[in-house]
Amino acid sequence: MILNMEKNILIIDDERDLCRLLQSYLLRKGYEVRIAHSLQAGMLLVKEINPHIILLDNNLPDGFGLNYLREIKLVDNNNRLIFISAMTNLKNEALSLGADEFLEKPITFHKLVEAITNLVVLVS
């Protein structure tokens, strides 16, 4: 099941309230949004729906997002990945491992939309 690539976002984060808030906002902006609350569920969705943009948190119940960056990019290198974390010291490592953007938590809608817009322009 491959969705509209340029409007398809996957959020991999275990903070359920944040996920619902982001999903609600992005749906109103016209994006298709799926959510995974673990790395395992996230990897299954990456392979199943081939999302255009992935929002990946670092601290998840079954591991660290940083350790899965390369694996996610190997599924489809055209996916754009926004790494999200309150740990700003991870920024350089996340970018060197394949993240296209790094957003510091707490995330603002403005910064999220700006990052998504920049990534969509890069692909188009």
Task: Provide the domain limits for residue 39.
Answer: 6-123
Please write the tens of the pLDDT for every residue from 102-119.
Answer: 999 999 999 999 999 888
Q: Residue 76 — pLDDT band, cuts 50, 70, 90?
A: confident
What are the pLDDT digits (tens) for 2-35?
344 468 999 999 999 999 999 999 999 899 999 9
Burial of 43 (C-beta count, 10 Å sphere; 0-12/13-18/19+): middle
Q: Is residue 1 part of a domain?
A: no
CATH code: domain of residue 76: 3.40.50.2300
**Domain count for the chain:** 1
